[in-house]
Amino acid sequence: MPTPLITPAPIDTRQMPAFSTIPATSIEAGAWSLPDATVRRRVADGYRRRGYAIVSVPGAAPSAEDLNGLSAALRLGEVFTPPMYSASSHTAGGVSRLTAASGGDHPFQDRAGQNVHCDGTLQPLGQVRTTLMLCVRAAAAGGASYLVDLVDAYAELRRVDPEAAEQLAHDTALVRTSTFSSGHSTAGPAFARDTSGSWTTRYSRTATDAYHPTPGGEAAMERALAFLDAAARPGSAFRTDFTLKAGQALILANDRLGHGRTAFRDDPSAPRLLLRALFTLRPLA
């Protein structure tokens, strides 16, 4: 069957009812520690209803200490460091430096665009609930971020083509292979329900992701991937685009939304730099 038209589900049936193609308005704070309880509530509410929030703090270029202050304010707990990153040059104290580097060992050390993905996909589905990214310097040109409401796109796929949707939910549907350790991979579903009954995801479409249908399910798997590819394209009702500015942070529900980035050009004297940390908890006000 042809790929169905990508349309959003009714708002009262969506997990992310406030997600929109219009990006969220940045929430301004006086400090990265978010001393104002109203600001903390707005961030947590945006994360819960939209799947993400953007925070901005005027002033000097932010640092890893500021990222830690923000995570503490949102009660995200300890930074989670995927085992593959423990000896990597781009990560220290659980905080990764997302910047282009000659000979870099990870895709986020490149200036090329990144396809839609979730972070920490070598871990069990749902373990990495939150990604926090803090922009120190924006690119000279390009480098726009985009988010995809994967759980609600998948809900629409389940509605219009349940056979295709099942292909993404079985135990070996998605095999992710490490970019650091040759041959290390993790198999599991791309979508599954958590203990509360909500859908979560580790869906990614990168060079290290391979999808495996059940016997006889090849055509259904092709339909499922084509549907979600369409959901991740510009103009989809499940995608929003924006560019993080210096002094802005993105707090993202990593197990519900996918994210990606367009290619960028650097100013050699001030290359693009984002700081990123992963967490197993969700923000609390």
Query: Other C-beta atoms within 10 Å of 270: how many?
Result: 14
**Average of per-residue pLDDT values in the chain:** 91
The identity of residue 36, as a single letter, is D
3-state SS class at 164: helix
Whether the CA torsion 94, 99, 103, 104 is positive or negative: it is: positive
Q: Which domains does the chain have, with CATH numbers?
A: 25-279 (3.60.130.10)
Least confident of 18-27, 45-54, 162-171, 262-271: 262-271
Residue 2 pLDDT grade (very low, low, confident, very high; cuts 50, 70, 90): very low
Distance of CA 17 to the CA centre of its chain: 18
CA distance 86 to 266: 28
What is the rounded average pLDDT of the residues 75-89? 80
What is this structure's pTM?
Answer: 0.92
* Higher local confidence (pLDDT), 88 or 127: 127
Tell me the two tokens of residue 258.
Answer: 């996918």
Beta bridge pairs of residue 211: 174
Q: Report whether pLDDT(4) > 50.
A: no
Tell me the two tokens of residue 156.
Answer: 């629409």
CA-atom Rg of the chain in angstroms: 18
Residue 179 pLDDT grade (very low, low, confident, very high; cuts 50, 70, 90): low
Q: What 8-state DSSP symbol labels residue 85?
A: G
Torsion of CA 15, 17, 18, 19, to 10 degrees: 60
Residue 123 CB contacts under 8 Å (≥ 6 apart), including other chains: 82, 186
Q: What 8-state DSSP symbol labels residue 61?
A: P
Which residue's entry shows tokens 């905080």? 95
